[in-house]
Structure 1
Amino acid sequence: MSQVSAEIKAKSEVYHGDELCQEKTKLLLKEVGLPNGLLPLKDIEECGYEKESGFVWLKQKKSINHKFEKIGKLVSYATEITAYVEVGKIKKLTGVKAKELLVWVTLCEIFVDDPPTGKITFKTPSSLFRTFPVSAFVIEEPVKELKNKEENEEKEEEKQVKQVANAAVEVQEV
């Protein structure tokens, strides 16, 4: 049963489609000072954010498991993930479990101390917790690729401007 009611949706910013939801999720994580790789979801169908209460939800086509290579931890993300967010913290988290030894442990809270270089702590409903470096959950943005893309677009625009100018000169000569 979904925790996202029609009443909540009516008061929220709601987005559909994987690409847009990926972008909005990373933007929200950045706004609240959490690492951008914290929610490595796939095929997100819907995401929403009710700013007044901080309630957030994400719905994906199917549950996924993701291994955070830098710390060697496997995390399971259900088809629906809900939480309340505030600066440096995710509270009342549902739909996320971490594998600890041979047991899947439900996570209910995530918070960052001294972002962005500090530690990130994951807490269970029974108050057990684990702390890791924030860097283990940061995805490096492909700055070089973006810069190259922008440079190529500028060169293409210059080329088109020259073609238009040459065409205008040819028309004047005729």
Structure 2
Amino acid sequence: MASQAIANYREKAEIYHGDSLCKEKSLQLLEEISLPKGLLPLDGMEEVGYNREAGFVWLKQRKGTQHTFKRIGKQVSYANEITAFVENHRMKKLTGVKSKELLIWVTLSDIYIDDPASGKISFKTPAGISRSFPVSAFELEEEANKKEESAKN
């Protein structure tokens, strides 16, 4: 399914290859749409594509990966292909991302910040259930540490 969507939007997309360039481009994209840069902690990325006209993004990694967001104790699973439609403060029609809730993996369909001043980011399932967490839980660890240091000084 995701591969078909990628094929549909590939023609007019900016496409990048190689792990380090893909990491850089994924961070730039998150910054561009005003979402925290630690939201997609992917490894072994092979391709990142962005069709600006349609707002469609895809990220491919060699194999799926799991990441634990330590500040909120949440485990998230990322498939080898992740796709989404993006706009400012929002990723919608997301595929390839699941969060562990108690003992089951729950598919995520939307990630958004309704009110940037609130400091909250929300994650919604296809069933319409959503949960919110502090945006700071999804910042890159280096950035979060810098903010903590400057708050102490």
Same fold (TM over 0.5): yes
Structure 2 unaligned residues grouped into runs of 5+: 147-153
Alignment partner, residue 4 of structure 1: 6
Alignment partner, residue 45 of structure 2: 44
Amino acid at match of 2:13: S
RMSD: 1.8
Q: Percent identity?
A: 60
Larger radius of gyration: 1
- Mapped partners of 2:12, 2:52: distance in 1: 9
How far is 1:9 from its partner? 1.5
2:102 is the alignment partner of 1:135: no
Query: Which one scores higher on RCO, CA 8 angstroms, separation ≥ 6?
Result: 2
Alignment partner, residue 88 of structure 1: 89
Amino acid at match of 1:20: L
How far is 1:142 from its partner? 9.6
Alignment partner, residue 17 of structure 1: 18
Contact 1:117–1:135 (CA under 8 A) maintained in structure 2: no
Query: TM-score normalized by structure 2?
Result: 0.88
- Mapped partners of 1:68, 1:124: distance in 2: 18
Contact 2:136–2:144 (CA under 8 A) maintained in structure 1: no
Secondary structure at the residue paired with 2:31?
helix
For 1:1-174, what aligned pairs fall within 5 Å after superposition?
Answer: 1=1, 2=3, 3-5=5-7, 7-115=8-116, 118-139=119-140, 140-141=142-143
How far is 1:118 from its partner? 1.2
CA spacing shift, 1:116–1:16, aligned 2, 3 Å: farther
- Mapped partners of 1:62, 1:108: distance in 2: 20
Q: Report the structure, 1 or 2, having the larger helix content.
A: 1
The size of the alignment, in residue pairs, is: 143
